[in-house]
Amino acid sequence: MYKNIIFDLGNVLLSFNPKEYLKSKITEDKIDDVYKAIFQSEEWVMLDRGTITEKDAINNIIERNTTYRDDINLVFKDWYDILKPIEETVEVLQSLKENGYNIYYLSNFHELAFREVTTKNKFFELFDGGVVSYAEKLIKPEEEIYKLLLKRYNLKPEETIFIDDTKVNVDGASKLGIKAIFLENPKALRGSLKSLNVNIE
């Protein structure tokens, strides 16, 4: 019987679509280059791991991409605004909590962004705990970050479900005996949980 449900955050509970965001900030002809410069940079991963400050990350990215200095600064200025709650999955989270399940988060996240979303979104009050990458200097799909969550909250893998929108992260959880749901469409979450006999009515 499943007792514990672990949620990823980005594109599970909070929408994260940087290319759509870029369309609102810069001209079409720059989007691919600026996207690669920021969201595919080594600094972006370092921010998840908590090994660089956002200020230093911006400086490093601009240093490599001086042509786009103004665009990069503009994009970083309020990028947290793209992290909006996904109502379908937030409702599932609330139902699970009401039905007595233990609810946790496990997410790769930047420090400043995490502070922002936890302040803005009341659903974080529903969690029984969680692990976020920047605070632990670990990122999914590294085995240690899953083990840390299990150990910290005394969770048994066979009683635990993990939900993530990234296949390698799902595979990382599965290797430890956690039942993992690869969530490609947030609207499908309720059905996926019902198929595992999870009570979310």
Q: Give the confidence band of 78 by pLDDT, cuts at 50, 70, 90.
A: confident
pLDDT at 201 over 80: no
β-partners of residue 102 are 4
Q: 């720059």: which residue's tokens?
A: 30
Which amino acid, 128?
D
The model's confidence at residue 200, banded by pLDDT at 50, 70 and 90, is confident
Phi, psi dihedral angles at 179 (to 5 degrees): -75, 120
Q: For residue 154, what pLDDT is reported?
A: 98
| pLDDT given for residue 128 in this prediction | 98
Range 149-165 average pLDDT: 98
Mean pLDDT confidence for 157-167: 98
Integer Cα distance of 5 and 1 in angstroms:
12
CATH of domain 4-15+83-194: 3.40.50.1000
Mean of per-residue pLDDT scores for the chain: 96
Over residues 120-124, the mean pLDDT reads 97
At position 24, the amino acid (one-letter code) is S
CA-CA distance, 124 to 103, in Å (whole number)? 10
- Identify the pLDDT of residue 139: 97
Domain limits of the chain? 4-15+83-194, 18-82
Average pLDDT rounded to a whole number, residues 23-37: 95
Q: Encode pLDDT of 85-103 as tens digits.
A: 999 999 999 999 999 999 9
pLDDT score, position 199: 92
